[in-house]
């Protein structure tokens, strides 16, 4: 297994997303039946929303090296799926004349203060990460295994909101890296220009009269010289030096 392609296994967001997915599957199996969900639509919507979260985190992280734009978009899809899922749990409570825990309540604080252990696996990643996910999930057994749907739903609302905030910070970090490094398109453009500059230098192209770097032959796309070739600095747009072809 190429570990570079599975960096998401070390993300706390992916681990927590898997905990939420497992807990949602258990919640739906226990609480939905032919009486309250005759067509199975609510079951499908909630389990699919829960599945979407770790799936999009994993896919987004896997695209990190090729498209930061796609990585951010998929991470945001995961966040949106969480909001949808949290609203389903809130609706479950409201149907039963219950309301979500207050952020000031002892129950909310107890769930919020539980921290996840940082992954330490170095090899056999799929095996060890599965053990890690289950161990982290057991930290919430007091609420998730209570067999009381009101307690379970409240706990999952807290976990969904917690992960929404974590993903928000992850997207912010991704955006900062995008600003510094650019995205896939920018990377391809830089590689292409570097290659053309190297080829021009080897083929005896003139140097820029302003900065001395190799020049690249281009074609004017507009203006009175449209369609005519000219030499442009390979460091454009930082340098706008030109020569007649």
Q: Is the peptide bond before 229 cis (omega within 30 degrees of 0)?
A: no
Quick one: pLDDT at residue 3? 43
Instruction: Answer with the one of 144, 161, 182 that is the final residue of a domain.
Output: 182
Residues 224 and 158 in one domain: no
Residues 51 and 113 in one domain: yes
Residues 41 and 121 in one domain: yes
Reported pTM = 0.73
Helix 12-31 to helix 125-138 angle, to the nearest 10 degrees? 60
Residues 70 and 94 in one domain: yes
Instruction: Provide the edge-to-edge strand list for the sheet that holds 229-233.
Output: 215-219, 229-233, 242-244
Helix 68-95 to helix 12-31 angle, to the nearest 10 degrees? 30
pLDDT digits (tens, 9 = 90+) for 9-49: 999 999 999 999 999 999 999 999 999 999 999 999 999 99
How does DSSP classify residue 208? P
Residues 100 and 121 in one domain: yes
Quick one: pLDDT at residue 2? 40
Secondary element (H or E) of residue 230: strand 229-233
Instruction: Answer with the one of 132, 157, 182 that is the final residue of a domain.
Output: 182
- Mean pLDDT, to the nearest integer, of 145-159? 97
45, 85 Cβ separation under 8 angstroms: no
Instruction: Answer with the one of 182, 198, 233 that is the final residue of a domain.
Output: 182
pLDDT digits (tens, 9 = 90+) for 61-95: 887 667 778 888 999 999 999 999 999 999 999 99
Residues 88 and 159 in one domain: yes
Residues 178 and 194 in one domain: no
What is the tally of structural domains in the chain? 2
Quick one: pLDDT at residue 230? 83
184, 174 Cβ separation under 8 angstroms: no
Residues 207 and 226 in one domain: yes
Residues 119 and 200 in one domain: no
Which range marks the domain in which residue 231 is found? 189-244
Quick one: pLDDT at residue 1? 40
Residues 218 and 122 in one domain: no
pLDDT digits (tens, 9 = 90+) for 100-119: 999 999 999 999 999 999 99
Residues 15 and 90 in one domain: yes
How far apart are the C-alpha atoms of 166 and 133, rounded to whole Å? Answer: 17
Please tell me whether residue 213 adopts helix, strand or coil conformation. Answer: coil
Quick one: pLDDT at residue 64? 67
Residues 145 and 76 in one domain: yes
Asked which of 57-66, 194-203, 208-217 is least confident by mean pLDDT, the reply is 194-203
Q: How many CB atoms lie within 10 A of CB 119?
A: 18
Asked which of 72-76, 167-171, 228-232 is least confident by mean pLDDT, the reply is 228-232
Using CB atoms within 10 A of its CB, is residue 243 exposed (0-12), middle (13-18) or buried (19+)? middle
Higher per-residue confidence, 46 vs 200: 46
């Amino acid at each position: 297994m190429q570990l570079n392609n599975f960096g998401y296994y070390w993300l706390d967001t992916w681990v927590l997303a898997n905990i939420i997915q497992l807990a949602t599957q258990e919640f739906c199996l226990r609480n939905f039946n032919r009486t309250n969900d005759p067509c199975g639509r609510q079951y499908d919507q909630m389990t699919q929303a829960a599945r979407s979260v770790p799936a999009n985190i994993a896919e987004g992280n896997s695209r990190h090296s090729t498209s930061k734009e796609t990585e951010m978009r998929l991470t945001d899809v995961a966040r949106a799926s969480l909001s949808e899922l949290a609203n389903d749990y809130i609706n479950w409570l409201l149907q039963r004349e219950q309301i979500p825990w207050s952020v000031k309540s002892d129950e909310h604080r107890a769930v919020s203060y539980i921290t996840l252990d940082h992954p330490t696996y170095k090899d056999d990643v799929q095996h060890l990460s599965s053990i890690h996910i289950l161990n982290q999930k057991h930290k919430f057994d007091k609420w998730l295994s209570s067999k009381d749907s009101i307690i379970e739903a409240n706990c999952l609302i807290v976990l969904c909101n917690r992960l929404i905030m974590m993903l928000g910070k992850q997207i912010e970090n991704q955006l900062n890296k995008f600003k510094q490094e650019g995205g896939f398109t920018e990377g391809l453009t830089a590689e292409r220009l570097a290659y053309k500059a190297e080829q021009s230098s080897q083929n005896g192209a003139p140097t820029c009269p302003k900065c001395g770097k190799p020049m690249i032959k281009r074609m004017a796309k507009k203006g009175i010289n449209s369609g005519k070739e000219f030499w442009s600095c390979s460091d454009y747009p930082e340098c706008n030096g030109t020569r007649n072809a």
